[in-house]
Structure 1
Amino acid sequence: MLGVKPLDYPMDPNLKFTANEGDVLDDPEKYRRLVGKLKYLTVTRPDISFPVSVVSQFLSASRTSHWDVIIRILRYLKKSPGHGLVYGDHGHNKIDGFSDADWAKSPLDLRLTTGYCVFVGGNLVFWKSNKQSVVARSSAES
């Protein structure tokens, strides 16, 4: 990977994945190991969380098209080695948590998006966002 050209984006946003596109990989274990390493890297590089979650969906049936996306993520990482979260000593061990919700303001899908994050000692240590169907949720509560 030393001679490859770096890229500006970790994944093509217009790319549509299918489970059967491309040839089956000769060494699927190599694919799984690399995806595992990328998942670990998302702790300090949340910018690759979405592409890594996409390629993680194909661990049991990985194909050459999925491998190409992993290579693209690596080329993006080569372009941006200084990006990511930095953990430092902020002089305290206070735990802070924040949450937010948009209450289905998306006109396209009318879904509720929620999210939260947790800081320990001023360092972001956990975050999550989730999209839920408001209609399904209110009918289940009835």
Structure 2
Amino acid sequence: MAAVMHILSYLKSTPGRGLLFKQNGHLDLEGYTNADYAGNITDRRSTSGYFTFVGGNLVTWRSKKQNVVSRSFAKSEYRGIAQGVCEILWLRWLLAEIDFRPNAATKLHCDNQSAFEIANNPVQHDQTKHVKVDRHFIKEKLEHKLISIPFVPSSEQLANMLTYVVSKRRFEDSLDKLAITDIYAPT
């Protein structure tokens, strides 16, 4: 109930907040994905989150508790990458339906070096057997150049706010980067 009251308090104090869509001169599709590790204190399941952008504008976002308990931070992040890849594939399909086909691999930014290396290393590792399905799924999309997974430092990872508690300053900075603005704010 305390969490609900906190959310309601935030919504009440920000009635003018909303997404601002701008023409940014490109229609690139890109995403940011992140996951915590064993963040839920009752069942130790991790939470994954992602943001996706088309033309620099935020179009989808999600935060979801993972279905299984991860035994390492890298595996938790890797499952988060798999969820982000699914969202990107859905968006690519949706854009193709309106005759827009991205001409380059979609970037899905990741801030975990181990998950980044697993995704971009063509050799199957024995330590990742329990994420083998995700590994083959992601590997196939990388090979077909539908996605690329560049490393992004944690300080530039937008999806952190979906999986971690962040400071008020970092939260406000992230809202600016997501183009979530307050129409009542003085200019």
Q: What's the TM-score, normalizing by structure 2?
A: 0.30
Q: Give the structure, 1 or 2, with the largest relative contact order (CA under 8 Å, sep 6 or more).
A: 2
Question: Rg larger in 1 or in 2?
Answer: 1
Q: With the length of structure 1 as denominator, give the TM-score of the two structures.
A: 0.38
Higher relative helix content: 2
